[in-house]
A and B are shown apart, each in its own frame.
Chain A
Amino acid sequence: MSEITNDRASSPVFTGPSSLGETAPAVELRHVSKSYERTTRALDQIDLRIGVGEFVAVTGPSGCGKSTMLHLIAALDVPTSGSVLIDGRDLTSWRDLSRYRREHVGLVFQLHNLLASQTLLANVEVVMFGTEASVHERRARARDLLAQVDLAGRERRRPTQLSGGERQRVAIARALANHPTLLLADEPTGSLDSVSAGHVLNLFNAVHATGVTIILVTHDLTIAAAAERVIHMRDGAVVADVPTTAPN
């Protein structure tokens, strides 16, 4: 598998002043709580700092709030209280959250990641519409990324013609299209067998090597072991935060 390249990794993406000085964490949660309706408390006073370039796995039993936390970081939802800071800046102060999602974040979900009516190429290109990239550059970038996830020559296929693992690789290619600084993945290997899951993990490792910060949600501890750091959650709170021994 060819190497994942990320031009952004070498140049600082966020150049504005940060409240924490030079070493602002890539992601910081301050006393973050999230309640649905009145009763369910999905997140309870979470405090968390994830450094630039870290590869973090988040694990925990079903319903402990993993997805909820990821959605808050992706600015797909807002906390009930507390604040989410990206590169030291509170997300509520970002002027354009669509742009944040498009240019700073790469998102991979467990299911329904792709547009069934579109080709693989278009599924990757879709996030580049409206960026400064020309048609030619978008095409080239999408082809390049598909090649990097071992799908060269299948650009014109539809997602329905792919296996689950292949689909997740397309989703990862799309997530990387705009050179994100933060890759968020929610159970990307959840529906995959161990061989496919291994494939996808290799990709994450390659992306990590380019300096991208990665938060990988999984309930599978063997998958979590691929990260540098594992955060265990239970009932909406962080109960353990440990470095792994896995070599990276």
Chain B
Amino acid sequence: MDGSETSVDYIAFMLRGVWAKKTRSIGLAFAVAFAVLIVVTLQVTSSSLEQSAAAVMSVGKANITVVQKGVADILSSTIDEGELGSIRRTPGVTSAVGVLVGTQKVNADNPVFIEIGINPTDLAAFGVTVVAGHPYTASATNQVMLGWRAAANLGLHVGDRFHALGTWNTVVGIYSTGNAFGDAGAMFPLPAVQGYNRLPGVVTLVFVKVANSSSSRAINAVVRRITYAMPQLTTITTASQFGRADVTLVYLKAAVTASSVLAIAIGAVIVGNTMLLSLFERTREFGLLRAVGWTRRRLIGLLLGESLVLALVGAALGVALSFAAISLLGQVPSLRGVLHVTFSANAFARGLATAVGMTILGSLYPSIRAARLVPLKALSYE
């Protein structure tokens, strides 16, 4: 007789036990849901921010992105022309596109409008398609291409004027990158952005394509050559490595982890406390079960099973609440354009893990206490 029975009648037995204590069960499910809400919301928003930032890089569809090492914010990375040239000459590199990325507050709805300085000859390698009008010329001043999302948001068309880089520019083309973040920004000739930011010859990121791009060994070899020759630079091959370059994101992730751990701990304490209290009112029930031959393990199994039911209900509730919360956060003007919310399977998994982890953690001790009750004392308990 072990504690892990899953027959239908046993599960029905367990569910009736949970349902019999409606108020307590609903209270616990809400406690679980609250912790799940916090964890999932933090997770989804922080990973959205991370992805938005990482999207700057994925715009380029590169095999490797090169950034300055240890910058607080990826957009404050600086790579000079000499370094760019060295990267281009590195064996195994087929192309290296340098872009200068800046941001500008266009209006209240677009507080973080992204501006990319890139040479028109690099557009194809960068994965940009011009969908209306034509590209700007390499040395043009006062010419801009808008991403199609930006054009739609701002209500601008080819031939209209757009204020950026401290001056009025003519919209000469509309582009698409297939990337939400990139399509919500604007592109300018590289020297125009460098000049406006007083950073002649400087780029923020370098997007590198490798000859044998399907081979991770070939990519790694190029990464080693670049970082050996220029230790002041670092490379990013996937979005998850992003934190290596961007210290802010490292702090953000740490804050999210700390808050999540705290939410889970508080939730576990609430679950444990409620379970301990209910131990007293259920003492006779547990005594009876032990007296008629239930083993300690089976009793622990029942109580953990009840907790699991609450965890599942709480997780479902919590995930639903966090979706609502995130959708509301998406409406906050200062977050618009930054928060491209993506509900991933990962978010669901985290919600579930939070709920299960927290209830099992919280109910372990009360369950063991219940199983330790002397059956006779429990039976005669008034």
Could you list which residues of chain A lie within 8 angstroms of chain B, going by C-beta atoms?
Answer: 71, 74, 76-77, 98-103, 105, 107, 109, 112-113, 115-119, 122, 125-127, 129-131, 135, 138-139, 174, 178
Contacts and interface: CB of A to CB of B under 8 A. Distances in A.
Interface string B6-23: 011110110011011100
B16 A102 contact: no
A125 B9 contact: yes
Interface stretch (B80-88, B100-108, B222-230, B281-289): B281-289
A117 B295 contact: no
B61 interface: no
Contacts of B293: 98-103, 105, 127, 178
B122 interface: no
B292 A77 contact: no
A130 B16 contact: no
Contacts of B292: 101-102, 107, 126-127, 174
A98 B288 contact: no
Contact of A129 (B5, B376, B379): B5
Given A102-B293, A126-B292, A174-B292, A135 B8 contact: yes
Contact of A122 (B12, B285, B298): B12
A126 B13 contact: yes
By secondary structure, the B interface counts as helix
Contacts of A174: 292
A131 B290 CA distance: 15
Given A77-B376, A126-B292, A117 B16 contact: yes
B294 interface: yes
Given A99-B293, A103-B293, A130-B5, A112 B379 contact: yes
B135 interface: no
* Chain A to chain B: the 5 pairs with minimum beta-carbon distance, closest first: A102-B293, A117-B20, A130-B1, A101-B293, A98-B295
Contact of A135 (B7, B16, B376): B7
Nearest to A139: B9
Interface string B28-45: 000000000000000000
Nearest to B292: A127
Contacts of B13: 118, 122, 125-126, 129
B255 interface: no
A101 B291 contact: yes
B375 interface: yes
Contacts of B379: 76, 109, 112
Interface in B281-322: 284-285, 288-296, 298
Contacts of B8: 135
Nearest to A112: B284
B73 interface: no
A171 to B, nearest CB: 10
A96 to B, nearest CB: 8
A131 B284 CA distance: 23
A99 B9 contact: no
Contacts of A107: 291-292
A122 B1 contact: no
A77 B374 CA distance: 9
Contacts of A138: 9
Given A116-B20, A122-B13, A74 B5 contact: no
Interface string B105-121: 00000000000000000
A209 B138 CA distance: 106
A138 B9 CA distance: 9
